[in-house]
Structure 1
Amino acid sequence: MRLPYVPDPPNFTSEEDKAVEQRVRQRRGEKGLIALDRTLLHAPPVADGWNSFLGSIRTKTSLPTSIRETAICRVAVLNKAWYEWESHSPILESAEDVTKPQVLAVLNSSPRKPLEALGDKLSAVLAYTDAMTLDVRVPDSVFEQLKSVGFSEKEIVEITATVAAYNCVSRFLVALDVGERNAQTGPKEGGKE
Structure 2
Amino acid sequence: MRLDYAPKAPEGLGAEEEQIYDRIRARRAPGELLPLDLALLHTPKMADGWNSLLGAVRTKGCLSDDLREIAICRPAIINRAWFEWAHHAPLLTATPGFTEEQYAVVKQPEPKEQGPLTDKQWAVLRYSDAMTKTISVPDDIFEGLQKAGFTDREIVEITLTCAAYNMVSRFLVALNVGEANGEVPDALKAHFGEKP
TM bucket, shorter chain: over 0.9
The residue that corresponds to 2:192 in the other structure is none
Distance 2:12 2:70 in 1: 37
- Tell me the TM-score normalized by structure 2: 0.92
Q: Which amino acid aligns with 2:143?
A: E
The residue that corresponds to 1:152 in the other structure is 151
- Tell me the TM-score normalized by structure 1: 0.93
Segments of structure 1 that go 5 or more residues without pairing to the other structure are none
Distance 2:2 2:68 in 1: 29
The residue that corresponds to 1:4 in the other structure is 4
Distance 1:119 1:12 in 2: 52
Contact 1:124–1:145 (CA<8 Å) still a contact in 2?
Answer: yes
The residue that corresponds to 2:193 in the other structure is none
The residue that corresponds to 1:188 in the other structure is 186
Query: 1:116 Cα shift?
Result: 3.0
The residue that corresponds to 1:55 in the other structure is 55
Contact 1:86–1:188 (CA<8 Å) still a contact in 2?
Answer: no
The residue that corresponds to 1:18 in the other structure is 18
Query: 1:8 Cα shift?
Result: 1.6
Contact 1:36–1:173 (CA<8 Å) still a contact in 2?
Answer: yes
Contact 1:40–1:47 (CA<8 Å) still a contact in 2?
Answer: yes
Distance 2:97 2:57 in 1: 20
The residue that corresponds to 2:190 in the other structure is none
Q: Count how many residue pairs are aligned between Structure 1 and Structure 2.
A: 187
Q: Which amino acid aligns with 1:126?
A: L
Identity over aligned residues, as a percent?
A: 50
Q: Which runs of structure 1 show a deviation greater than 3 angstroms over 4 or more consecutive aligned residues?
A: none
The residue that corresponds to 1:27 in the other structure is 27
